[in-house]
Amino acid sequence: MVDGKDRELLGEIPSPGRADSINERIERLRREIVKGESVYTPVELSTLERQLEEYEHLQDMLQYR
């Protein structure tokens, strides 16, 4: 992450062997989104925001079933 981007979240590099829990992934996405356009392009931010929405929806589905 020389440029401060989380390339794994952007799908540019493979994920390591251990996967994040849903809560961990949501927190990682939020941390990266806060960095904003000083680190990410608008398209990359949109990708991260879409992922965040999907993980939050999944969390809600699992929590309230």
Evaluate if residue 2 carries a pLDDT over 70. no
Tell me how far CA of residue 4 lies from CA of 10, 11, 39, 44, in angstroms: 12, 15, 6, 13
User: Above pLDDT 90, what percent of the chain?
Assistant: 77
**pLDDT tens readout for residues 20-44:** 999 999 999 999 999 999 999 999 9
What are the residue ranges spanned by the domains of the chain? 1-65
Residue 55, helix vs strand vs coil: helix
What's the pLDDT at 8? 92
In sequence order, which ranges of 1-65 are alpha helices (DSSP H)? Answer: 22-35, 42-63
Euclidean distance between CA atoms 30 and 43, whole angstroms: 16
pTM value is 0.87
Euclidean distance between CA atoms 40 and 3, whole angstroms: 9
